[in-house]
Amino acid sequence: MPELFAAFPDVMNVRELAAALHLSRAGAYNLMNAPDFPTLKIGGRKLVMKQDLIAYLHRHTNRGGNPGQEP
Protein backbone atom coordinates (compact mmCIF):
# COMPACT_ATOMS: atom_id res chain seq x y z
CA MET A 1 0.00 0.00 0.00
CA PRO A 2 2.82 2.53 0.61
CA GLU A 3 3.47 2.73 -3.14
CA LEU A 4 -0.07 4.10 -3.61
CA PHE A 5 0.96 7.18 -1.64
CA ALA A 6 4.50 7.61 -2.99
CA ALA A 7 3.61 10.86 -4.78
CA PHE A 8 2.33 12.48 -1.58
CA PRO A 9 4.47 14.25 1.04
CA ASP A 10 5.44 12.56 4.31
CA VAL A 11 3.21 15.01 6.22
CA MET A 12 -0.12 15.88 4.58
CA ASN A 13 -2.59 18.68 5.08
CA VAL A 14 -6.33 18.27 4.54
CA ARG A 15 -6.12 19.08 0.82
CA GLU A 16 -3.41 16.45 0.25
CA LEU A 17 -5.26 13.88 2.37
CA ALA A 18 -8.41 14.48 0.32
CA ALA A 19 -6.47 13.94 -2.91
CA ALA A 20 -4.73 10.81 -1.58
CA LEU A 21 -8.00 9.18 -0.55
CA HIS A 22 -10.17 10.64 -3.34
CA LEU A 23 -12.36 12.44 -0.82
CA SER A 24 -13.94 15.86 -0.79
CA ARG A 25 -12.32 18.41 1.49
CA ALA A 26 -15.32 18.06 3.81
CA GLY A 27 -14.81 14.28 3.88
CA ALA A 28 -11.13 14.72 4.69
CA TYR A 29 -11.99 17.17 7.51
CA ASN A 30 -14.51 14.66 8.89
CA LEU A 31 -11.88 11.93 8.84
CA MET A 32 -9.27 14.16 10.49
CA ASN A 33 -11.76 14.99 13.25
CA ALA A 34 -12.56 11.32 13.96
CA PRO A 35 -11.40 10.40 17.48
CA ASP A 36 -9.22 7.48 16.34
CA PHE A 37 -7.63 9.18 13.32
CA PRO A 38 -3.93 10.01 13.89
CA THR A 39 -3.41 13.74 13.42
CA LEU A 40 -0.74 16.22 14.45
CA LYS A 41 -1.79 19.68 15.48
CA ILE A 42 0.79 22.33 14.72
CA GLY A 43 -0.45 25.81 15.45
CA GLY A 44 -4.00 25.81 14.17
CA ARG A 45 -3.34 23.23 11.46
CA LYS A 46 -4.17 19.54 11.55
CA LEU A 47 -1.77 17.33 9.64
CA VAL A 48 -1.36 13.60 9.16
CA MET A 49 1.88 11.71 8.70
CA LYS A 50 1.82 9.43 5.67
CA GLN A 51 3.09 6.44 7.69
CA ASP A 52 0.29 6.96 10.25
CA LEU A 53 -2.29 7.15 7.46
CA ILE A 54 -1.06 3.86 6.00
CA ALA A 55 -1.15 2.19 9.43
CA TYR A 56 -4.66 3.57 10.02
CA LEU A 57 -5.85 2.17 6.68
CA HIS A 58 -4.34 -1.23 7.49
CA ARG A 59 -6.15 -1.28 10.86
CA HIS A 60 -9.46 -0.27 9.29
CA THR A 61 -9.39 -2.51 6.22
CA ASN A 62 -11.63 -5.56 6.25
CA ARG A 63 -10.04 -8.42 4.33
CA GLY A 64 -12.04 -11.62 4.43
CA GLY A 65 -13.83 -10.75 7.64
CA ASN A 66 -10.74 -9.97 9.73
CA PRO A 67 -10.08 -6.23 10.07
CA GLY A 68 -6.48 -5.35 9.38
CA GLN A 69 -5.56 -8.83 8.14
CA GLU A 70 -2.73 -8.92 5.62
CA PRO A 71 -3.53 -10.75 2.35
For the chain, the domains span: 2-61
pLDDT above 70: percentage of residues in the chain: 85
Q: Does domain 2-61 have CATH number 1.10.260?
A: no
Give the pTM. Answer: 0.82
Instruction: Write phi, then psi, for 35 (nearest 5 degrees).
Output: -60, -30
Cα angle value 62/65/67 (rounded, 5°): 40
Kindly report the number of other CB atoms within 10 A of residue 47's CB atom. Answer: 18
Q: How many CB atoms lie within 10 A of CB 71?
A: 5
Instruction: List pLDDT tens digits, range 10-34.
Output: 999 999 999 999 999 999 999 999 9
Q: Are 8 and 20 in contact (CB under 8 A)?
A: yes
Confidence of residue 52 (pLDDT cuts 50, 70, 90): very high
